[in-house]
């Protein structure tokens, strides 16, 4: 059980792999040196660098090693940057194309597909509107008909009455978002995305609902917005 | 004699009782006319003293789940025999279940009951209340109407009717403690801490000369501290302030952890929680970490440079004395119950909105004073390092701690004006009515984020880079080696200082900032790994071929290497934007920055305290207590912050005053294990908090009966070890010929000492040359 998307999980596993490698090197080295090169009183290897008070000590360096651990981390971050690069195309929203094509004509469907990396591509997308306000969300389906998008409210045990956004699996939506007071951010937990909603400025967010999407998931506010910030919640229902 | 087991049982009972006490319902019916749902539909506007309501049949304390028959009645008012209608009631019970047995009363829900139309012409009613099955404090609120019966007749309606209200509380078989206002807890703890500080102060004065323990001697002694321009005394003052606020910030963290220990807790309301996390962040960064850095820098930079004092001692005193008053301003809001509630980031437009508490204005004002203080400090240290290095000490012969303070102050000096400008804008918006962040008037919602993070990101490096300096000193001295790659260490630190300014956009990956900027900062943020990697590998290599001497400060430095490396690695997850969109504002972020700010900065401070304490006070700290402190703190620290990574990935959100767990996999709430982990974190947090009192105890023991410290207890090379422990009031150094004066630095690398290198000659052209300073000093 997790809120991870396949896209997130792929990146996460890769980063964890490199983290383990880097930690193994650093901590193995630390562990070895902190037991191997020790002494109780400093007598075992006395003062190899002839350290003396008031004298700047002899340089203890090795250009090759220092260059090595400048270059190697640099190569690693180039690789990690390259690895994180591909999903970026799926993150940015632009109205003129991209991985999700153009806005759907009436009656057209997105037919989105997820590749093995978890990146979703679609034929076209639908536009919905999300408005943030202290302290609730409102969803507007605009011109989309009920078979594509709907909104309702539901009473949840702890959050009280929350708005519910009904979307269809296999369809991709572009949320055009704005706030009418302060900054908020909807965190679509099972989509692994969030984006601030700002007053006086529109922001956009892809909501690609894949076939494997869980039916019910939470939308929490992730940008601190005042007193009832933590119960500013909504629900996303993905229908077949 | 109470056995161990029963002691444990008592503690467990108190804990259970305290936890049970935490939930407390607040939705009291107010009884104002027209409040149908939560109160009574009372007739008439004001309650009347002549009507007396009563509930009979309530026990002093209830038995679990027992049903009690309650008789509700009233006397007085216009109600009298023969009226068409006589009266009505509304009863609310905070806990348990109400039920009715006849047609004169009806149930609204399990907590509320009232009369029916049929029950409108009588003076008493009967309802049944079933007590809860656990220990609760149950509040009953009864409203009654005394009716003159003219509803259908002359005068019409409810004129002349009167109402009254009675509230009764009933406890369970085990007495439940009332939940205390967390602000009272915080206030009491701060007052206790301040009193302890005052007692300590008096005691320190007493120890100084037990025979002269009277006011006539105390006043000048205190005045001496308050008016001193001695860098060592001001350094000590910075430490006292820094450690005090570290404690205050810690208390706030503990209160936050109590709130988060179980899901759905209501120890803090959201409103209180907001103020606690805001002040926790502001206190820890600005009132704890920064003063402690300045404490180390004040004490050690002049000593390491071989200087007598800082270049501008009066400016130095002013920098310090701005801080306590800034602290007062920052905290002012909570005395009115309206402390700043914006988060330490204070995002606009919330920070200028009407919803933000009044205390936010004072919070901004206090931080403007801190900006002034930091700017003055920056000028002071940069000047000192430029003109007061001892003869023979070029830029590239400065000890690494002094280098770290140089880099930190350059960063601070270049970044803090942006923060100051932003704060002044916020202050003017809130006070004068300007419209920098008023969106309706065309203000920019992202301007503050840019100004804040342009400062905020260098700022987090400002607080961690001095720790790099301390660790460099400690690792080299403890390994009995000269630091590996001195020059690459300096370049790496300078590199961090430069990179700090071009990465701040990674705080804004989900902020609506332009995608191009996001992409650029993704690339630059990755770069941070390179200079920090160089530093970590250089530290590890310093140990190579050395002979590590295990002292407390060595342990802290090794602990720093572990925790800082872990924090650095978790930091690499954020520049990958596709991951950051999930991790942003989650507990993964909380885990990461506590790993670098506590495991990095604070562990470095602890290493520095154990390392320089003998020099500063002339007394040794106990190694046994020091090792105990390290072991308890290191273990509990990791137990505290490590599980937060997992909570963040699960989707636990930062700055939420509570969270919910569920077994339903479909719903995106946290899984059930999250509750257990949060309790584990809270327990670890308390252990970590209390483990640091071992240091306090160690300091007290050392001051009373510590061994006298030699001049160079650890075998360091830099100038601070050339003077006495503690250094004389007017700092001078012991020269080889036995006299006291300003030393000259020799260089074991003579062949390069005479070639300053391109970087230092470039610096020297920029700044005051050595010849100029020598001329002036002669």
- How far off is chain A from B383, nearest CA to CA, in Å? 22
Is the dihedral angle over the CA atoms B630, B631, B636, B637 positive or is it negative? Answer: positive
Over the stretch A5-53, which tens digit does the pLDDT of each residue have? 888 888 999 999 999 999 999 999 999 998 888 876 656 667 778 888 8
- The structural domains of chain B, with segments of one domain joined by +, span 35-170, 228-705, 719-777
Who among A46, A189, A231 is closest to B651 (CB)? Answer: A189
Cα B198 from Cα B631, distance rounded (Å)? 30
pLDDT of residue B192: 86
Q: How many CB atoms lie within 10 A of CB A61?
A: 18
pLDDT of residue B602: 95
Chain A interface, best mutation among B512, B545, B566, by max A CB count within 10 A: B512
Among the listed ranges B82-96, B487-501, B763-777, which one has the minimum average pLDDT value?
Answer: B763-777
3-state secondary structure (DSSP) of residue A172: strand
Among the listed ranges B45-49, B173-177, B267-271, which one has the minimum average pLDDT value?
Answer: B173-177
CB B138 within 8 A of CB B71: no
Q: Is B507 a catalytic residue?
A: yes
Judge: A23–B569 Cβ closer than 8 Å, yes or no.
Answer: yes
Who among B488, B659, B749 is closest to A58 (CB)? Answer: B749
Judge: B445–A183 Cβ closer than 8 Å, yes or no.
Answer: yes
Q: Is B654 a catalytic residue?
A: yes
Q: Is B535 a catalytic residue?
A: yes
Correct CATH for B35-170 of 2.40.30.10, 3.40.640.10, 3.40.50.10330, 2.60.40.1930: 2.60.40.1930
DSSP string across B581-643:
HHHTTBHHHHHHHHHHIIIIIIHHHHHHHHHHHHHHHSBPPPHHHHHHHHHHHHHHHHHHHHH
Q: How many CB atoms lie within 10 A of CB A106?
A: 7
Note the residue count of chain A: 240
CB B614 within 8 A of CB B711: no
Judge: A224–B655 Cβ closer than 8 Å, yes or no.
Answer: yes
DSSP string across B332-349:
HHHHTT----STTTT-TT
Using a CB-CB distance cutoff of 8 angstroms, which residues of chain B are in contact with residue A5?
A: 582
Q: How far is CA B174 from the centre of its chain?
A: 36
CB A190 within 8 A of CB A217: yes
Over the stretch B641-666, which tens digit does the pLDDT of each residue have? 999 999 999 889 999 988 888 776 55
pLDDT of residue B202: 85
Cα A99 from Cα A19, distance rounded (Å)? 30
Judge: B581–A229 Cβ closer than 8 Å, yes or no.
Answer: no
Q: Which of B395, B461, B539, B714 is catalytic?
A: B461
Cα A190 from Cα B582, distance rounded (Å)? 9
ipTM over 0.90: yes
CB B538 within 8 A of CB B484: yes
Does B595 reach chain A within 8 Å, measured CB to CB? no
CATH of domain B228-705: 1.20.210.10
A-B C-beta contacts closer than 8 Å: 316
Average pLDDT over residues B504-518: 86
Cα A13 from Cα A19, distance rounded (Å)? 10
- B511 has a pLDDT exceeding 60: yes
Judge: A56–B717 Cβ closer than 8 Å, yes or no.
Answer: yes
Q: Is B457 a catalytic residue?
A: yes
Residue of A nearest to B270 (CA): A227
Note the residue count of chain B: 778
pLDDT of residue B174: 66
Among the listed ranges A135-139, B755-759, B773-777, which one has the minimum average pLDDT value?
Answer: B773-777
Who among A39, A52, A83 is closest to B547 (CB)? Answer: A39
Spatial CA neighbour of B564 closest among B467, B491, B690 = B467
Using a CB-CB distance cutoff of 8 angstroms, which residues of chain A are in contact with residue B577?
A: 84, 87-88, 91
Who among B523, B577, B657 is closest to A230 (CB)? Answer: B657
The pTM for the full model equals 0.80
- Residues 720-739 on B with a CB inside 8 Å of A are 721-722
Judge: A227–B748 Cβ closer than 8 Å, yes or no.
Answer: no
- B11 has a pLDDT exceeding 60: yes
Judge: A222–B585 Cβ closer than 8 Å, yes or no.
Answer: yes
Q: Which residues of B92-114 are buried (b: 16+ CB within 10 A; e: fewer)?
A: bbbbbbbebeeebbeeeeebbbb
Q: Which backbone phi and psi does A195 adopt, to 5 degrees?
A: -155, 140
Judge: A3–B342 Cβ closer than 8 Å, yes or no.
Answer: no
Q: Which of B143, B233, B280, B629 is catalytic?
A: B280
Banded model confidence at residue B32, pLDDT cuts 50, 70, 90 = very low
CB B78 within 8 A of CB B148: yes
Q: Distances from the Cα of B115 to the Cαs of A25, B33, B36, B112, B145, in angstroms?
A: 76, 16, 13, 11, 11
Q: Distances from the Cα of B407 to the Cαs of B47, B332, B419, B585, in angstroms?
A: 69, 33, 19, 29
CB A173 within 8 A of CB A126: yes
């Amino acid at each position: 059980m997790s809120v991870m998307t396949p896209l997130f999980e792929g990146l996460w596993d890769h980063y964890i792999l490199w983290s383990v490698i880097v930690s193994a090197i650093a901590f193995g080295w630390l562990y070895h040196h902190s037991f191997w090169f020790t002494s109780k009183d400093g007598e075992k290897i006395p003062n190899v660098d002839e350290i003396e008070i008031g004298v700047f000590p002899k340089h203890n360096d090795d250009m090759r090693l220092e260059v090595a651990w400048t270059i190697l981390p640099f190569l690693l971050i180039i690789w990690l940057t390259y690895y994180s690069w591909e999903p970026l195309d799926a993150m940015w929203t632009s109205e003129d194309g991209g991985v999700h094509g153009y806005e759907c004509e009436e009656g057209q469907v997105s037919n989105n597909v997820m590749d093995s990396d978890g990146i979703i591509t679609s034929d076209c997308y639908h536009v919905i509107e999300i408005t943030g306000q202290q302290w609730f969300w409102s969803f507007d389906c605009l011109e989309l008909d009920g078979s594509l998008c709907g909104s309702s409210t539901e009473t949840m045990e702890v959050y009280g009455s929350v708005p519910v956004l009904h979307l269809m699996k296999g369809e991709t939506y572009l949320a055009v978002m704005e706030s009418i007071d302060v900054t908020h951010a909807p965190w679509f937990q099972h989509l692994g995305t969030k984006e601030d909603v700002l007053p006086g400025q529109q922001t956009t967010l892809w909501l690609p609902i894949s076939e494997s999407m869980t039916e019910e998931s939470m939308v929490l506010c992730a940008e601190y917005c005042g007193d009832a910030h933590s119960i500013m919640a909504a629900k996303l229902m993905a229908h077949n | 004699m109470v056995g161990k087991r029963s002691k444990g049982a008592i503690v467990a009972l108190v804990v259970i009782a305290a936890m049970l006490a935490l939930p407390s319902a607040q939705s009291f019916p107010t009884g104002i006319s027209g409040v149908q749902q939560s109160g009574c539909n009372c007739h008439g506007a004001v309650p009347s003293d002549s009507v007396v309501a009563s509930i009979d049949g309530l026990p002093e304390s209830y038995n679990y789940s027992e049903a009690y028959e309650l008789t509700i009645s009233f006397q007085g008012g216009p109600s009298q025999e023969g009226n068409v209608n006589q009266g009505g009631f509304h009863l609310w019970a905070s806990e348990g279940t109400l039920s009715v047995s006849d047609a004169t009363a009806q149930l609204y829900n399990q907590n509320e009951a009232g009369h029916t139309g049929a029950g409108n012409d009588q003076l008493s009613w009967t309802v049944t209340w079933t007590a809860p099955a656990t220990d609760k404090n149950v509040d009953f609120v009864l409203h009654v109407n005394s009716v003159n019966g003219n509803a259908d007749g002359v005068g019409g309606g409810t004129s002349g009717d009167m109402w009254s209200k009675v509230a009764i509380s009933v406890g369970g078989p085990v007495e439940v403690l009332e939940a205390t206002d967390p602000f009272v807890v915080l206030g009491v703890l701060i007052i206790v801490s301040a009193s302890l500080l005052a007692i300590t102060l008096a005691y320190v004065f007493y120890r100084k000369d037990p025979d002269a323990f009277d006011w006539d001697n105390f006043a000048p002694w205190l005045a001496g501290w308050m008016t001193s321009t001695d860098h060592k005394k001001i350094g000590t003052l910075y430490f006292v302030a820094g450690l005090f606020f570290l404690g205050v910030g810690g208390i706030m963290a503990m209160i936050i952890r109590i709130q988060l220990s179980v899901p759905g807790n209501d120890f803090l309301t959201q409103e209180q929680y907001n103020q606690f996390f805001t002040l926790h962040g502001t206190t820890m960064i600005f009132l704890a970490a920064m003063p402690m850095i300045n404490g180390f820098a004040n004490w050690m930079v002049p000593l390491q440079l071989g200087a007598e004092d800082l270049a501008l001692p009066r400016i130095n005193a002013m920098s310090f004395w701005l801080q306590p008053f800034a602290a007062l301003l920052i905290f002012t809001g909570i005395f009115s119950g309206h402390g700043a509630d914006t988060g330490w980031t204070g995002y606009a437009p919330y920070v200028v909105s009407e919803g933000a508490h009044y205390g936010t204005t004072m919070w901004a004002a206090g931080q403007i004073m801190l900006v002034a203080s930091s700017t003055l400090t920056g000028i002071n240290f940069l000047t000192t390092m430029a003109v007061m290095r001892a003869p023979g000490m070029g830029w590239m012969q400065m000890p690494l701690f002094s280098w770290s303070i140089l880099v930190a102050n350059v960063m601070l000096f270049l970044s803090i004006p942006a923060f100051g400008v932003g704060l002044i804008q916020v202050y003017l918006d809130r006070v004068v009515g300007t419209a920098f962040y008023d969106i309706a008037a065309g203000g920019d919602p992202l301007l503050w984020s840019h100004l804040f993070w342009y400062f905020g990101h260098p700022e987090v490096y400002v607080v961690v880079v001095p720790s790099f300096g301390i660790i460099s000193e400690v690792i080299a001295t403890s390994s009995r080696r000269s630091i590996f790659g001195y020059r690459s260490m300096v370049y790496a630190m300078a590199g961090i200082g430069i990179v700090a300014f071009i990465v701040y956009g990674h705080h804004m990956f989900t902020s609506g900032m332009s995608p191009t900027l996001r992409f650029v900062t993704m690339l630059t943020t990755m770069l941070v790994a390179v200079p920090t990697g160089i530093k970590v590998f250089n530290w590890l290599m310093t140990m190579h071929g050395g002979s590590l001497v295990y002292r407390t400060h060595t342990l802290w430095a090794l602990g720093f290497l572990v925790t800082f490396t872990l924090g650095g690695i978790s930091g690499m997850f954020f520049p990958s934007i596709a991951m950051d969109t999930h991790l942003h504002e989650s507990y993964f972020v909380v885990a990461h920055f506590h790993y670098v700010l506590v495991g990095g900065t604070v562990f470095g401070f602890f290493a520095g305290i154990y390392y320089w304490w003998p020099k500063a006070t002339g007394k040794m700290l106990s190694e046994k207590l020091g090792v105990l402190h390290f072991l308890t703190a290191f273990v509990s620290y990791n137990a505290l912050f490590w599980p937060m990574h997992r909570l963040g990935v699960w989707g636990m959100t930062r700055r939420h005053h509570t969270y919910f767990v569920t077994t339903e996999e479909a719903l995106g709430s946290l899984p059930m294990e999250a509750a257990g982990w949060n309790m584990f974190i809270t327990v670890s947090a308390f252990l970590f908090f209390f483990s640091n009192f071992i240091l306090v105890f160690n300091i007290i023991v050392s001051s009373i009966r510590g061994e006298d410290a030699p001049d160079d207890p650890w075998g360091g090379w830099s100038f601070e070890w050339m003077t006495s422990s503690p250094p004389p009031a007017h700092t001078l150094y012991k020269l080889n010929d036995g006299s006291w004066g300003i030393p000259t630095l020799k260089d074991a690398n003579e062949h390069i000492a005479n070639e300053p290198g391109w970087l230092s000659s470039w610096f020297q052209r920029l700044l005051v040359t050595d010849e100029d300073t020598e001329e002036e000093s002669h």
